[in-house]
Homo-oligomer: A and B are copies of this chain.
Amino acid sequence: MRDLDSIFDPKSIAVIGASREPGKIGHVITKNFLDGGFAGRVYPINPKAPDVLGLKCYPSVMDVPSNIDSAVVAVHADLVPGVLKECGEKGINGVVVISGGFAEVGNYALEQQLVDVAKKYDLNVIGPNCLGVLNPAARNDSIFLPIYKMGRPKVGDISFISQSGAVGGCIIDLAARAGIGMGKFVSYGNASVVDEVDLLKYLADDDKTRVIVAYLEGVKRGREFLKVAKEITRHKPIIVLKAGRSKEGAKAARSHTGSLAGSYDVYHAAFKQAHIIEANRLNELFDFSKMLDYPTCSTGGRIAIITNGGGTGVLAVDSVEDNGLELAKFSESTERELRKILPDYANATNPLDLVGDADANRYEQALDLVMRDPGVDIVVVIVLFQTVAIDSRIVNVIVKAREKGRKPVAVISTGGEYTEFHRRIMDSYGIPTYSSPSDALLAVSKFVEYCKK
């Protein structure tokens, strides 16, 4: 197995192509390491600059007096093989090649040169033609996109691999916005040296990664991928969005990353066999992964729904059935106890409508009772923040109920700014939230499916 620690968690890093000019990629990357609080040493490499952003700059990695773990390369494609050779000579283990201009534009010979150098020096090369690596825990950020345009997520344990840089950028940005914690992220571009199989193996062994999410256009070593994935999904879920499913989409993928997308039917069957969870839409990568990141599993699919809005409760029940789940039946004692805390006109049955004036206290009492019902496997809590009675206290109630109840909880909250704010807080706490019943119950069904496998 490739040791990619120096890629994801380097103690020292060289930025090859570091620049003094604010617009340049080599400038942005150097700045991100400094601004991001990277704890290791940063060595700018550029034969034409004496220093970059206050750091001493070296003409080549060969001139740096200390050892270097890892390098990020952002120089013209033609210079890349030479630069890699120097990295090899220097004893650098991992290199991220941001530079494009290889196989993806038909420059196969140059890409082969890169591969040959990597092989000769046993270099772990990510890319070329990629967006870089992000490891929030290590404050390792070689992504060259500006922070004001693309947020950086907090530390978490969902790790992402993306063949496409564009999709990768969207993934980081969406995760940051939604309050979803990220383990490791890598956009691996042309995958000329380190490919998806290597990355899967590494993340399988990484104890900071609990869920693996992948955007794939094509897989190079199909048989190996299947074998490795099958092994991994025994203990860690893998979620995949496969692009290029359609005939025209496969053609577009070919001209994009040069990947042979292959027949989708074959992929689909293989994914199923390996217990890989397939996403059909970009947002499902998050919808599924945050549910699958849940610390406990549930092999049962009996769902309790608690709501302060009847209509949303009805929609949720429809989604329970749509997704092959089952509406739990409350026990007689649960119903009896519920009746004590509910207004006269409310029903103590599932879906449990706490009605529009329900406050955090009523939710707390109801959650406590429903959590203890042996006929309930998973609790889906609908909280509509528009009502007068609901405020931030509900967040605490749900966090506590989840910790006490030891049954998985998912939250549905539909709305604008005030709602989004509270959803983000809950997601940051590790409580998966959804904006619609259909999204939530689909994710819950994938969770149950994975737990059952």
Contact = CB atoms under 8 A, between A and B. Distances in A.
A118 B243 CA distance: 58
A283 to B, nearest CB: 6
Interface in A94-116: 101, 104-106
Contact of A414 (B163, B170, B384): B170
A243 B318 contact: yes
Nearest to A163: B311
Contacts of A262: none
A282 B414 contact: yes
Contacts of A420: 177
B311 A165 contact: yes
Per assembly, the copies of the chain total 2
B145 A246 contact: no
Contacts of A435: 282-283
Interface stretch (A66-74, A193-201, A330-338, A436-444): A436-444
A217 to B, nearest CB: 6
B177 A416 contact: yes
Given A169-B384, A281-B436, A149 B248 contact: no
The 10 A-B residue pairs with the shortest CB-CB distance in the complex, in nearest-first order? A166-B309, A164-B311, A177-B416, A246-B321, A105-B345, A256-B310, A167-B311, A249-B318, A170-B414, A249-B317
Interface of A: 23, 28, 101, 104-106, 144-146, 148-151, 162-170, 173-174, 176-177, 215, 217, 241, 243-249, 251-253, 255-257, 280-283, 307-315, 317-318, 320-322, 327, 344-345, 347, 349, 351, 353, 356, 384-388, 390, 414-420, 435-439
17 contacts: A145-B386, A145-B387, A149-B387, A149-B415, A166-B310, A166-B312, A167-B312, A174-B416, A177-B417, A246-B318, A249-B314, A255-B353, A256-B310, A256-B311, A282-B436, A282-B437, A282-B438
